[in-house]
């Protein structure tokens, strides 16, 4: 499970158009993928892999 660096809440993948971000379910803070890249686990990788047109900004 990916955790929010701020509050340790659970991060969920959110998708908006061609952009993908991680959003904390606790504090609502959004992170770009590269900001939490060190936390990407198998579950997240699989989810990200479903979107072929991902733009990592």
The residues of the shown chain that bind Zn ion, judged by CB under 5 A, are 4, 6-7, 9, 24, 26-27, 29
- For Zn ion, give the closer residue by CB, 14 or 27: 27
Which residue, 14 or 55, is less far from Zn ion as judged by CB?
Answer: 14
Q: How far is the CB of 27 from Zn ion (least distance, A)?
A: 3
Rounded to whole angstroms, how far apart are CA atoms 42 and 26? 22
Specify whether the backbone of 8 is left (phi greater than 0), alpha (psi in -120 to 50) or beta: left
- In this complex, which beta carbon is closest to Zn ion, that of residue 13 or of residue 55? 13
| Alpha-carbon gap, residue 21 to 2, rounded angstroms | 12
């Amino acid at each position: 499970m990916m955790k929010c660096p701020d509050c340790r809440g659970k991060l969920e993948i959110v998708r908006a158009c061609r952009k993908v971000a991680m959003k904390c379910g606790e504090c609502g803070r959004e992170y770009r993928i590269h900001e939490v890249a060190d936390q990407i686990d198998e579950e997240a990788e699989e989810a990200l892999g479903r979107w072929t047109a991902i733009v990592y900004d």
